[in-house]
Amino acid sequence: MEMMRISIHRRLLCSVYKVVLRSYVNSCRAVLLPRFGGPEVLQVHSDVPVPDLKPNEVLVRSRAVSINPLDTRMRSGYGRSIFEPLLPIILGRDVSGEVAAIGASVRSLVVGQEVFGALHPTAIRGTYTDYAILPENEVTAKPSSLSHVEASAIPFAALTAWRALKSTARISEGQRILVVGGGGAVGFSAIQLAVAAGCHVATTCGRESVDRMLKAGAEQAVDYVAEVVDVELAIRGKFDVVLDTIGVPETERYGINFLKRGGHYMTLQGEAASLADNYGLAIGLPLAKGAELKKQIKYRYSHGIEYSWTYMRADFEGLIEIRKLCDAGRLKIPVDKTFPITQVKDAHVAKDKKIIPGKVVLELS
């Protein structure tokens, strides 16, 4: 009875809060992308409309949003086949903040709760805004051990790694995993997820990243710059799974050669978006399916392995597991630098010019 009263009370509070909120958050600050181009095209506006929430949606007061390579690529025109007709759009996938309002059917969250999450790759209204809107299944309680800045660095990258290793390759304890490009956010997440699953992990990364890889539990970390000629000789043994975050012809060739028969090669550099951009959605997407299928057949016959293009996808259970790993101290992505959201152009310049190699986070106060 008491529980029921609390729950009714909570719901009432939420609906009152929503009404109050609707009356003053009709618009908010956001970074708009009015056309594709360099960092200079980004515009900070103070009065961008906040749409009404759908029943399954959550309004998040953003405190920190991280920059993913997808943001800078979208800004330059990647995904134009989807996004061009919808400009201006708001960039950004990751967010950490507080729940400001919930849609009528949302059950897992309450107003005021600290949350983190990531939008799926094709979402139109991104997170570079004071008030982000995410479906309930793309947001959950923030890891209590992490700050908003730290939390915002995690969901998109970790969910990409989660989908590849857990949903596609279905890794299991004792397997050998090779992560090509462990120094990046997705690669480093993959190493930590695989180690937590009881796998044996090897990786390639830049010299600066080697110690971080070994501390995270990788058994071998090969410096791809120093070992440029011998990277294939330096990596020891055969693997059950290769996750290639770089996905150039050279890494694909050696990644596939390192697999045992029955193993699984996955690349993050699938061509669906670029083919759709070049030929339009109607022709580009079937072309992409055909190109992937051709490689799948080729490698099945030549090497006896599975081959996939892997993409980030919302996964509510995955996000909850990721939070638990963060709170257990088993998953973290270092943040190299933060910028206030008003300096978003400088932050994009820093990423484009590779001035800051690691994670960059935009703060919203």
Ligand X SMILES: NC(=O)c1ccc[n+]([C@@H]2O[C@H](COP(=O)([O-])OP(=O)(O)OC[C@H]3O[C@@H](n4cnc5c(N)ncnc54)[C@H](OP(=O)(O)O)[C@@H]3O)[C@@H](O)[C@H]2O)c1
Question: Residues in the site for ligand X, rule: CB under 6 A?
Answer: 68-70, 121, 157, 160, 180-181, 183-187, 204-206, 208-209, 224, 245-246, 268, 270, 311-312, 357
Q: In the complex with ligand X, which residue's Cβ is closer, 70 or 199?
A: 70
Please report how close the Cβ of residue 360 comes to ligand X at its closest, in angstroms.
Answer: 9
Nearer to ligand X, 103 or 206 (CB): 206
Whether the Cβ atoms of residue 142 and residue 114 lie closer than 8 Å to each other: yes
Structure tokens at 296: 């799948």
Q: Which is nearer to ligand X, 250 or 317 (CB)?
A: 250
Residue 183 CB, shortest distance to ligand X, in Å, is: 2
How distant, in Å, are the alpha carbons of 1, 2, 8, 9, 11 from that of 5? Answer: 6, 5, 5, 6, 10
Q: How far is the CB of 222 from ligand X (least distance, A)?
A: 9
- Among all residues, whose Cβ is closest to ligand X? 183
> How far apart are CB 313 and ligand X at their closest, in Å?
8
Q: CA 246, CA 227: separation in Å to the nearest integer?
A: 16
| Of 180, 234, 231, residue with least CA distance to 203 | 180
Nearer to ligand X, 68 or 81 (CB): 68
Provide the 3-class DSSP secondary structure of residue 356.
coil
DSSP one-letter string for 39-103:
GGG-EEEEEEE-PPPPTTEEEEEEEEEE--HHHHHHHHTTTHHHHGGG-SEE---EEEEEEEEE-
For ligand X, give the closer residue by CB, 312 or 364.
Answer: 312
Residue 318 CA to residue 345 CA, distance in Å, equals 32
Give the C-alpha separation, 356 to 106, whole Å. 38
Question: What minimum distance in Å lies between the beta carbon of 356 and ligand X?
Answer: 10
Nearer to ligand X, 58 or 180 (CB): 180
Minimum distance of ligand X from residue 49's CB (angstroms): 29
The least distance separating ligand X from the CB of residue 344, rounded to whole angstroms, comes to 17
For the beta sheet containing 27-33, the strands, ordered from the edge strand earlier in sequence to the opposite edge, are 43-49, 27-33, 89-90
User: Considering beta carbons, is residue 89 or 159 the nearer one to ligand X?
Assistant: 159
C-alpha 333: how far from its chain's center? 12
Minimum CB–partner distance for residue 229 and ligand X (Å): 13
Pick 84 or 352: Cβ nearer ligand X = 352
H runs (alpha helix) in the chain: 2-24, 69-76, 80-83, 148-152, 155-162, 185-196, 210-215, 231-234, 249-257, 272-279, 281-303, 316-327, 344-352
- For residues 288 and 270, the answer to whether their CB atoms sit within 8 Å is yes
What CA–CA distances, in Å, run from 147 to 111, 144, 342? 19, 8, 20
